[in-house]
Amino acid sequence: MELIVAHDRAGLEKARSSGRVALVPTMGALHEGHRSLMRVARTLADQVVVSIFVNPLQFGPAEDFSRYPRTFDSDLDICAAEGVDVVFAPSADDMYRPDRQVSLSAGRMGAMVEGAVRPGHFDGVLTVVMKLFNLVGPQVAVFGQKDAQQLALIRRMVADLDLPVEVVGAPTVREPDGLALSSRNRYLTPDDRQRALALSRALHAGAARLSPAAVRAAAEGELAASGLVADYVVLVDPATFAEIPDDFRGEAVLAVAAKVGTTRLIDNVLIAF
């Protein structure tokens, strides 16, 4: 089957099948991590729809919206190679009416951790994901564990707003040396790329410890030793993103964010206590 590219709602409407649909929302600049989401989606549905839309609502005024990598032709090649059925790539004008009034709030959870550093970011993410759910009408949607707080908030949105969509999280894909794949890795100079390895090293150091306090200390120590200034190092409940207490039992997320040169990177790992 040939890949269908829909640039607007009408095109999407025509391309949609009546069978089970899996959606993989992306902002393009696709890499091996996105390919793994597409492969998961393929196992879950008859039709796989990938959306490619750099969502202006989720970027702050001083963030990288205008320079965010846009690689549409190679994105289409990747989608075709992965057997994706439909790419939905709307324009910003098609997605957002100029007199738009209503949007979603990610609430208190959206203002924590990553949301504390990027105010309004998760409101923008939830608003566009809700619109994509409404436009594409998937039964299932696949998101990367790499954006752990985004995944948690999308699960919350589905539960709180009774959306008929199953949300599936897929594991982070890493380079052989540990660097988590990210569209923003393209910004890194060779020197930055070496320094960026401190994030995965910090997670590795933390995951080797037994108590929450020791995990935090080891991760913070590793980042400090690398000379990177962290935006945060947190050990949180994967569903609520609240810091876990020392007697916590279950699975937690150790999440880190730091600027490497001009590029802000995030990473996380799941740790069982």
d(CA 52, CA 88): 6
Pick from 21, 22, 26, 141 the residue near ligand PAF by CB under 6 A.
Answer: 26
Q: How many residues bind ligand PAF (CB under 6 A)?
A: 10
CB of 57 to ligand PAF, least distance (A): 8
Identify the DSSP state of 43: T
CB of 53 to ligand PAF, least distance (A): 6
SS3 271: strand
CB of 89 to ligand PAF, least distance (A): 12
Give the residue from 140, 151, 123, 127 showing the smallest Cα distance to 238.
151
Site string for ligand PAF, 103-132 (x = CB under 6 A): ----------------------x--xx---
Whose Cβ is closer to ligand PAF: residue 150's or residue 172's? Answer: 150
7, 31, 34, 121: the catalytic one is 34
Site string for ligand PAF, 142-181 (x = CB under 6 A): -----x--x-------------------------------
- Assigned token pair, 92: 């910003």
Asked if residue 27 binds ligand PAF (CB under 6 A), the reply is yes
Whose Cβ is closer to ligand PAF: residue 58's or residue 145's? Answer: 58
Classify residue 72 as exposed, middle or buried by CB count within 10 Å of its CB (0-12, 13-18, 19+). Answer: middle
Whose Cβ is closer to ligand PAF: residue 49's or residue 128's? Answer: 128
CB of 26 to ligand PAF, least distance (A): 5
Residue 34 annotated in active site: yes
Classify residue 219 as exposed, middle or buried by CB count within 10 Å of its CB (0-12, 13-18, 19+). Answer: buried
SS3 167: strand
Q: Give the ranges where the chain is alpha helix by DSSP (H).
A: 9-15, 32-42, 72-81, 92-95, 114-117, 121-136, 148-160, 190-207, 212-226
Whose Cβ is closer to ligand PAF: residue 150's or residue 200's? Answer: 150
Task: Find out whether 139 and 21 touch, Cβ atoms under 8 Å.
Answer: yes
Whose Cβ is closer to ligand PAF: residue 169's or residue 212's? Answer: 169
Pick from 36, 47, 55, 182 the residue near ligand PAF by CB under 6 A.
Answer: 55
Give the Cβ contact number of residue 42 at 10 Å: 18
Pick from 6, 23, 25, 35 the residue near ligand PAF by CB under 6 A.
Answer: 25
d(CA 236, CA 109): 12
User: Which residue ranges make up the site for ligand PAF (CB under 6 A)?
Assistant: 25-27, 55, 58, 125, 128-129, 147, 150
Residues labelled catalytic: 34
